[in-house]
Each structure stands twice: as C-alpha cells, then as structure tokens.
Amino acid sequence: MKLLFVADPLSTFNIKKDSTFTMMREAQARGHEVWCCDTTDLHWQTGQFVSAPMHQLHLTGDHAHWFTIQQTKVLPLHQMSAVVMRKDPPFDSEYFYATHLLSQAEKEGARVFNQPAALREHPEKLALMEFAEFASPTLVTRQAQAIRDFHAQHQDIILKPLDGMGGMGIFRVKADGLNLGAIIETLNREGAQTVMVQQFIPAIAQGDKRVLVIGGKPVPFALARIPQGNEVRGNLAAGGKGVAQALTERDWQIANALGPKLAARGLLLVGLDIIGDCLTEVNVTSPTCFREITDQTGFDVPAMFMDALTEQLAAA
C-alpha cells in the first residue's frame, strides 16, 4: 500500500515521542510505502484533481538522520491507498480549508482518515458537549457575565480558549475570583472570542488521562499526564509527567460508550481526555501518546492503529 501522511514539517518531529512517526515506522515495517506532505502543499486547480508535491520516505533507524527522501512527485491524493491526516492543531481557518480540500479528494476516490467532514463536525473542545452525561459542568460562551455567573455557581473553575492545544491558555480561578476579570479580558477579547469554562476537577492531581480509541475500540492503557510542581496543567507540552496505567472501570465505560459512535462517523482515531471520572475533551485532529504508552506497557499502539486502518481499507 501507499500511505500518505499529511503532517507538520518533518524537521519539527521529535521521534522520541512523535505518534505520527510511530505510525510511519509500523507502516514501513509491514512493507508499505510511506509518503508525506504538509497541508500547505495541497492544491486544487480547475479541471484537475486535488494534488500535492509529496515525498516518499525511507526511515533509517538513525535518530540524528531519521529519514531519507526516496523520491518527490506531484500526485493526486486519490492515487494513494490511504491519506492519514495528522496535522497538529490549532483548528484554525487554514486547517478548516484543508479539510475541504481533503473532502474534495474523497469525492475523487481518496480514502482519508480521520474523515474530513468528521473533523469539521467534531471541534476538539465543543465535541465534549454532546456527551455531557460523562462531563463536569461546562459552559461555552462569548458573554463575560455568563462566565462570572458560572464562577459564582461553581466557585473553582478552569477557563480555556476553544482553539488551544498542549495546555495553552488554560487558567484556573478559585473561589476568591482573583484575576477573573483580567483572565476574561485575555481570553474573551471583549466578546470577540468564545471561551470554554469548566468546573475544576481536583482529581487532576492524579493526572489528565489520555485514552486512545482506535476503530471504535479503546487501547487498554491510558497515559496519565500528571501536573508537576505548582502547575495546574498536566499536558506534556506544559511540563506534565506521563505515566501509563491500565484503564479504570469508568475509563472503559466512557470509551465504550463513545467509541462505536465516533468510529461510525468516520473517526478512526480519537483521544479522550479524562480527569478522575469526567470526560473533559474529545480530541480528533492529531491524538498523541502512542510512543509513551507502547514504551511503558509493551502494548503495541501503532500496530493496533495499522490493523484498524487496514481493516477499514479492506471493508471498502
């Protein structure tokens, strides 16, 4: 098979922990061709197919020089066996436009995972609201007074922008309301930007768990991202410590409830964020933690992903 990974520039990869790299390595080990491009490479001209200049890679196993380029060609995306969309957030206007180009490629015969329409319909933080029965109290608003009222009701809250990633822009405000006004101004921008507000979950001290769901089935281990020092954020990008652990009964309950529904909508890979017993985010753009879970538990997450991808392609 020829697999195209639409991802960030290869120069930005940290192969010691990059999940896309582990997918590529597993694909090559199975004898598949590994190709890559960036969303900036996608183009669509009148009377032509959605195409991109793409590189065929060979992964060397050398950490310093981890790939060589075998060849570079401008090819229609539908000539690939599968297109794996792995562009990192934020889900901004350019990401949105890229999903439309990928949708057109689908019409031309490309198989894209996760499906572009599903990516558009499940923005990472808003997607949580559909599954409110598993979540802590949550508010999505552009109204500053609504945020103040939510704080008055719940006392201890977390505020974050809808387009954040890696813990960026997350604030905690306790019962004293210290700096609430300044934080609202920073995130809300006088009503110009939507904010998500959630009741603070003390179980964050035990970690913000990333539960991977592949082909509708949970990976049996989560990565608990545990805040360090005085930090409230567990995100690895914010200095959190990643500790793999077996799923709890509640983790299984949430993952089994959401997994089949999301898979049926074209989401081959989903990353559920769970703090304590509460679902906090539904990540669909570029879920990570493959490497950490595999290295710490021995459970081969990339193999599970490639098995699911192969099964999807065979079912077409």
Task: Just list the catalytic residues.
Answer: 125, 160, 210, 225, 233, 273, 281, 283
CA nearest neighbour of 10 among 34, 42, 43: 34
User: How far is 303 from 161, CA to CA, in rounded Å?
Assistant: 34
Strand ranges (E), the chain: 2-6, 33-37, 51-59, 67-76, 82-85, 112-113, 138-141, 157-161, 171-173, 195-199, 208-214, 217-218, 221-226, 241-246, 269-275, 278-283
User: How far is 57 from 70, CA to CA, in rounded Å?
Assistant: 6
Q: Are 111 and 81 in contact (CB under 8 A)?
A: yes
Q: How far apart are the first and last CA of the chain?
A: 14
User: How far is 4 from 56, CA to CA, in rounded Å?
Assistant: 9
